């Protein structure tokens, strides 16, 4: 751990670590195997202030920084990457409402979200609009004091179980300026969900399509002004990218810890395999790569907290590097386990599977390279 953390941040880290050790790690393998969404455990995180980490305190949030959030998700993902990742999505939804909604909306919705009375999912991606998010086609048409929404979203974490959905829908012409943001509730008539997708990882949370068929909601559930939704979504993704990078960081650290314990115990040719130089070199590379990832991620979080003009570039760099590195380190940890690493009992293969999607979501790492290079060339 970097010595630059304050005493308060060290306490935050310890609190999140204890929750991961007691409520996540002992059950992560079972949740993965049975595809069980641990809603009870997720809701209990609100007791520690983990349901509104960087939401203002007047509506039940913890009022913490982005660096604080990174520390939290790093620790939580050491217990269960998939469950920690869903908590990060809930927090992103809460932040968007806190940052961009009217005061009336903040007071109406956030106390119920920060207490986990309501669990939230984020709806941006569509079957035909992934990396090109501005090309989304779900449409919200104004009808008097209401909006009527039609369309569909894909790859939505928590869909079908979450109570509230932050939805990006088109209210204007094509392109980014025609997108607005809305709150849709699970019980709204016309909202339906597809089958739970069968996935390589993230099995402790459901992933479904969300369909809107003449879903009528009051105009008071629009977040901000018409046409500002895409800007809100992109702002939310800066923090979301830090959070998912933090989940990769925690996952790689957990995999490395398991590998280190294994090579000390496993014996071949009459000695612990940790005595072999090839193993030592791999461990050294894993530790170097993990610490490099941690340093970059913490710096990116500080840039976002400081509202630095190049914060988006830092968030993209951190997301690209940490998620790529996380998968590599976890895969190296599996290799050090030999054949046992391929077995579910040792837990490393689950971490590898869970980390793989981090290179795709919150903007693929190819898109991160586009963001980084464009900012470099613009300056």
Residue 362 annotated in active site: yes
C-alpha to C-alpha distances, 198 to 35, 207, 210, nearest whole angstrom: 9, 8, 16
Alpha-carbon distance of 248 to 74, in angstroms, equals: 8
Quote the tokens at residue 66. 């982005």
Residue 103 CB burial class (10 angstroms; 0-12, 13-18, ≥19): exposed
- Catalytic residue selected from 74, 254, 349, 362: 362
Alpha-carbon distance of 328 to 279, in angstroms, equals: 16
Quote the tokens at residue 116. 């986990």
Runs of H (alpha helix) within 59-178: 66-79, 81-100, 103-114
Query: In the Cβ-directed half-sphere of 270, how many Cα atoms lie within 13 Å?
Result: 0
Short-list 294, 293, 312, CA closest to 304 = 312
Instruction: Please list the active-site residues.
Output: 362
């Amino acid at each position: 751990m970097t010595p630059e953390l304050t005493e308060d941040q060290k306490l935050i880290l310890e609190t999140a670590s204890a929750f991961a050790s007691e409520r996540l790690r002992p059950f992560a393998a079972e949740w993965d195997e049975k595809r069980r969404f641990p809603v009870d455990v997720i809701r209990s995180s609100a007791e520690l202030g983990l349901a509104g980490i960087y939401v203002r305190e007047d509506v039940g949030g913890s009022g913490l920084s982005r660096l604080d959030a990174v520390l939290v998700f790093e620790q939580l993902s050491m217990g269960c990457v998939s469950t920690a990742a869903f908590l990060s999505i809930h927090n992103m939804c809460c932040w968007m409402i806190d940052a961009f909604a009217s005061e009336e909306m903040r007071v109406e919705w956030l106390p119920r979200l920060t207490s986990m009375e309501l669990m939230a999912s984020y709806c941006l991606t569509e079957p035909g609009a992934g990396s090109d998010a501005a090309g989304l086609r779900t449409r919200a048409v104004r009808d008097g004091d209401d909006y009527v929404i039609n369309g569909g979203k894909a790859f939505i974490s928590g869909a079908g179980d979450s109570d509230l959905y932050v939805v990006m829908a088109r209210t204007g012409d094509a392109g980014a300026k025609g997108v607005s943001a809305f709150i849709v509730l699970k019980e709204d008539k016309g909202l339906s969900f597809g089958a739970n997708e069968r996935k390589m990882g993230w099995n402790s949370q459901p992933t479904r399509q969300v369909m809107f068929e003449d879903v009528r909601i009051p105009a008071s559930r629009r977040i901000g002004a018409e046409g500002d939704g895409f800007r809100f979504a992109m702002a939310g993704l800066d923090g979301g990218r830090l959070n998912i990078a933090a989940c990769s960081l925690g996952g790689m650290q957990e995999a490395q810890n398991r590998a280190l314990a294994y090579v000390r115990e496993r014996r071949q040719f009459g000695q612990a395999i940790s005595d072999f130089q090839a193993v030592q070199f791999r461990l050294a590379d894993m530790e170097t790569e993990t610490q490099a990832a941690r340093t970059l991620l913490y710096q990116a979080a500080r840039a976002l907290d400081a509202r630095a003009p190049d914060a988006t570039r830092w968030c993209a760099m951190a997301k690209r590097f940490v998620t790529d590195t996380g998968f590599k380190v976890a895969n190296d940890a599996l290799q050090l386990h030999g054949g046992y690493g391929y077995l579910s009992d040792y837990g490393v293969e689950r971490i590898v599977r869970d980390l793989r999607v981090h290179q795709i979501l919150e903007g693929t790492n190819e898109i991160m390279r586009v963001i980084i290079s464009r900012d470099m060339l613009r300056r």
